[in-house]
Structure 1
């Protein structure tokens, strides 16, 4: 029997094509209109919808709006400021930047000559060094170059450094602190989400600390996603949504791999599997499902949310409109607050370690003081002797 497609009239096929083109043109018009109006809410909706912002041409207009950049003002004033960053002192991490840039552009673009790739590496090096020299308090991390190369490929030259500066200071600031401790704290949200959605999968993975998610969340998935079209599409959603959305994306990827993960019992094998993204990952479905997961289980409902610093990007980007109004100076002040919190936590930890290391001596002193105070009653002496034996053991 002939299929329905074989009996389709030419005019029907033409109508379908025209309808498809019309739908595409309509979505493009919506994106452009939202960009012109700086309508962040509309862009957030479009970023989650099928195809996201559809093309790099549209992304180059949408991403700056979402990052709080006035593209026209920057482009008009970029000529006179061009190159001035080169006169600034070198950043302490520039040697590591060079090593990472040398091994950049591994997966994409794959249609460039060696000379073109060398030129892109030179541009990438300049982009990273400009951001770090202009914000010298930031600490470079390995994988930062993966994020930068995506913005470099999408945005025009004049917008790259301003966009990457705001992304660094206001969106991924937690990863550019002197320690990755805040990044580790963020990962605790993943088990919380798994527990809320799939108790059996949570129990299966509970033997593993969620360090397997560090590479993907740290680099906005740019280190492991190998197709340029996929990472550009994913960046639409990650830039449009709250910073914590990357946690939901990773969790949704884990949920989609449920059957595969339940086949492994060994913690090492589970960690290896979870630290690699599957090559056939349906990112479009992941983004849609992650958005639904966010709506059903917002971050405030997760137990570990209360351990997140109020200065963390997870909380300072919770309101996307507020983010667009934040300045680089605001980000720097939040950075300083986070550093103070980290130093205080380190001092507390050292204090606890010191007390524990000297617990016998300190307890002996306590016993002596207590004995004097209580005039060394038999009951006190017996209790003190028992506690001394307990501490020493």
Structure 2
């Protein structure tokens, strides 16, 4: 009898798959439907940003890196046909942050795929350094912090160098802006949202941590400033969280920190009630978290306890956040984007018009040509192939006319 019940027990979520044909068909159908919805949203004019956000947040996120290469730029309102030029060769000369960036990037080997050839990783590390320094050079109001490279490398590995520059620049001026002040004061301000949130949900846990153990919030610092890229060993989990955060309010990383702590409530309360013990426990983030459940709970907490409610806390009265205050305007700016098919035709039309007048091709056309030539030459291994694939994804018709 027990075996019969177990055999017919329904799974808890749509992504649960027990190996039967029926469940497998449902799972495949669900994925295909989601991909179709994303495709339709990308090809709407203007792009259906709200559907893309829902897809990024909902169960399974954006599913594949191919989808991410198309959706991530739209979530940040980045036009992949009007990208910044590649970093200048002399970008490293006399840059005040070069030495620190170099040290951090050299220590970042575990952030690259296992089994990657040494020469391939070396190319990507050089690109990582150049992306960081280029964004900082063109945005003097931004200041490098240790851990920034953990965010940048994620975009480099998924979208390639050129698109990563544009995305990281946009992200740094919005979602990450408070972390990039010359001092840690704004970062501490963002961290200060964590305890009031825990107090709203579990006052007993809050009192144990703050009043009795006096643990504070520093245990979550590396979580927030790297979007968990530094503390999670499985790149799939990092990508899932980046889908979530790119489509959400900048404080969502704080809400996710709160649900991790709440998920471990029994462990915390049963630990020794002193700062060292609780801090050590919390700073060791589990690698087998139920990510979909935690993402859903973080969303629920955000709805029930929005940032404006938490800001009434005394700890949050002394300072204003640039990130939070500019988010609404930034989100509205993403609403009127054209689909890539339209942007691609515009590039082709400008290119053809210039050729008919005997004028040199536009900068956008030059950039796409250079990306394709550089990628198809295959002289730089995986990095070149990634960039070539990205270029082909954005403008296959146009690029094929050039060869």
Say whether 1:258 aligns with 2:265: yes
Match runs of 1:82-121 below 5 Å: 82-84=86-88, 86=90, 90-121=94-125
Q: Report the Cα offset of residue 84 of structure 1.
A: 3.9
Structure 2 spans left out of the alignment, 5+ residues: 9-18, 337-403
Distance 1:189 1:323 in 2: 26
Q: 2:66 aligns with which of 57, 68, 72?
A: 57
- Over 3 Å counting, the alpha-carbon distance change for 1:311 and 1:16 in structure 2 is closer
Looking at structure 2, the residues matched to 88 and 107 of structure 1 have their Cα atoms a distance apart, in angstroms, of 23
CA contact (8 A) 1:213 1:250 kept: yes
C-alpha offsets along residues 77-114 of structure 1, whole Å, 9 cap, x if unaligned?
Answer: x6xx3344746864311110000010113154113122
TM-score by length of 1: 0.74
Give the direction of change, closer, same or farther, for the CA distance of 1:160–1:134 in structure 2 (3 Å limit): same
State yes or no: 1:283 paired with 2:288: no
Q: How does 1:317-332 map to 2 (within 5 A)?
A: 317-318=327-328, 321-322=331-332, 324=334
Query: 8 Å contact 1:173–1:313 — kept in the other structure?
Result: yes
SS at 1:209's partner residue? coil
Deviation per CA, 1:313-335: give whole Å up to 9, x if none: 02322465235389xxxxxxxxx
C-alpha distance in 2, partners of 1:177/1:308? 16
Q: Which residue in the other structure is 1:388 paired with?
A: none
Structure 1 equivalent of residue 75 of structure 2:
66
Q: Which has the higher helix share?
A: 1
Q: 1:73 is paired with a residue of what secondary structure? A: coil
Q: What is the CA–CA distance in structure 2 between the aligned matches of 1:51 and 1:92, rounded to whole Å?
A: 41
Aligned-partner Cα distance in 1 for 2:321–2:203 = 31
Q: Cα gap change, 1:102/1:154 in structure 2, threshold over 3 Å: closer, same or farther?
A: same
Q: Which moved more, 1:129-138 or 1:212-221?
A: 129-138
1:219 to 213, 226, 230: 226
Report the number of matched residues. Answer: 317
Residues 215 and 274 in structure 2, CA contact (< 8 A), matched pair in contact too: no
Tell me the equivalent position of 1:230.
237
| TM-aligned CA distance change 1:280 to 1:15, over 3 Å | closer
Which ranges of structure 1 fall in alignment gaps of 5 or more residues?
327-393
Alpha carbons of structure 1 residues 25 and 143: separation in structure 2 relative to 1, 3 Å: same
**Contact map agreement 2:49 2:335 (CA 8 A) in 1:** no
Residue in 2 that maps onto 1:383:
none
User: Which deviations, in whole Å up to 9, do the C-alpha atoms of 1:35-84 show, x marking residues without a partner?
Assistant: 3333222222112211100111111111111111112333xxx6xx3344
Q: Which of 284, 298, 306 pairs up with 1:298?
A: 306
1:130 has 2:134 as partner: yes
Task: Check whether the contact 1:238–1:245 (CA below 8 A) recurs between aligned residues.
Answer: yes
Measure, in 1, the Cα distance between the counterparts of 2:288 and 2:92: 45
1:146 lines up with 2:150 in the alignment:
yes
Matching of residue 48 in structure 1 with residue 60 in structure 2: no
Aligned-pair CA distance for 1:182 = 0.8
C-alpha displacement of 1:14? 4.6
- Cα distance, 1:193 vs structure 2: 0.7
1:32–1:72 Cα change, 3 Å: farther
2:251 maps to 1:244: yes
Partner Cα separation in structure 1 for residue 322 and residue 141 of structure 2: 16
Q: Which has the higher contact order (CA 8 A, sep 6+)?
A: 2
For the 8 Å contact 2:112–2:121, the answer to whether it is kept is no
Q: In 2 relative to 1, CA 213–14 (structure 1 residues): closer, same or farther, beyond 3 Å?
A: closer
Q: Secondary structure at the match of 1:317?
A: helix
1:22 and 2:29 equivalent? Answer: yes
The question of whether the paired residues in 2 share the 8 Å contact of 1:243 and 1:318 is answered with no
Specify the alignment match of 1:360 in structure 2: none
Change (3 A) 1:285 1:138: same
| CA displacement at 1:31 relative to structure 2 | 1.7
CA shift in 2, pair 1:269/1:42, >3 Å: same
- Rg larger for: 1
